[in-house]
């Protein structure tokens, strides 16, 4: 019997030493609530804006003018004016022109912004900057605006179409961008002609 007790005790010690330690999935330090909404709602929260902006404008103009003029003058009354011969002048002027302008632009990006203020109606004021540099090409996107809390999606994103008073600027510079600019000689010819 003592041998059986000794073997049982050894097995219990072995199992206790190698037993898996169960841990909870809940971590108090990292989570506030299992059911909490993760959407931005207070100053300092971050929010992802999905920028999908496009604009298209088109203008056309057509001009067609014509002017005809004719002048006839003959001798007048009196001994001096009767000596003037018959004089006739005719002329015309016409102009026809057409022109059209089309401009389109598209900006698609995702950027994270910070809630800087909450107004009296509960709307979130947003501000953010994204700067990217690849080789010597630099691109900077700035976004300012306001968004209603109900427009923020459950994944903490909002479409740029839902941003009120949106000010989105995209500025790029570098060797490729500088080649796109008009040269000095072209500018001078444009001024002169």
Domains of the chain, by residue range, sit at 46-192
Given a cut of 90, is residue 114 above it in pLDDT?
yes
**Nearby residues of 132 by Cβ (< 8 Å), 6 or more positions away:** 138, 139, 140
pTM greater than 0.75: no
Q: How many CB atoms lie within 10 A of CB 129?
A: 13
Cα distance between residue 53 and residue 107, in whole Å: 5
* pLDDT value at residue 121: 92
Contact 69, 61 (CB under 8 A): no
Question: Higher-confidence residue: 86 or 123?
Answer: 123
Which ranges in 19-123 belong to alpha helices (H)?
A: none
Tens digit of pLDDT for each residue in 133-177?
A: 888 888 899 999 999 999 999 899 999 999 999 999 988 877 665
Cα distance between residue 148 and residue 162, in whole Å: 8
Question: Higher-confidence residue: 112 or 66?
Answer: 112
CA dihedral 19→24→28→34, nearest 10 degrees, is: 170
Tens digit of pLDDT for each residue in 9-51?
A: 777 676 666 655 555 655 555 555 666 667 888 898 999 999 9
């Amino acid at each position: 019997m003592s041998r059986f007790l000794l073997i049982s005790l050894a097995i219990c010690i072995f199992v206790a030493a190698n037993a898996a330690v169960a841990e909870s999935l809940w971590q108090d330090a990292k989570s506030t609530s299992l059911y909490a909404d993760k959407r931005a709602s207070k100053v300092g929260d971050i929010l992802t804006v999905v920028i999908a902006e496009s604009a298209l404008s088109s203008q056309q103009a057509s001009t067609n003018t014509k002017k005809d003029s004719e002048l006839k003058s003959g001798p007048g009354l009196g001994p001096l004016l009767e000596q003037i011969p018959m004089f006739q002048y005719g002329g015309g002027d016409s102009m026809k022109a057409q022109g059209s302008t089309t401009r389109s632009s598209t900006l698609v990006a995702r950027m994270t912004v910070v809630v800087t203020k909450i107004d009296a109606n509960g709307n979130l004021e947003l501000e953010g900057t994204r700067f990217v540099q690849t080789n010597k090409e630099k691109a900077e996107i700035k976004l300012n605006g306001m968004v209603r809390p109900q427009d923020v999606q459950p994944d903490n994103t909002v479409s740029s179409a839902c941003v009120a008073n949106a000010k989105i600027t995209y500025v790029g510079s570098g060797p490729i961008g500088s080649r796109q600019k008009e040269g000095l000689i072209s500018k001078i010819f444009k001024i002169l002609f």
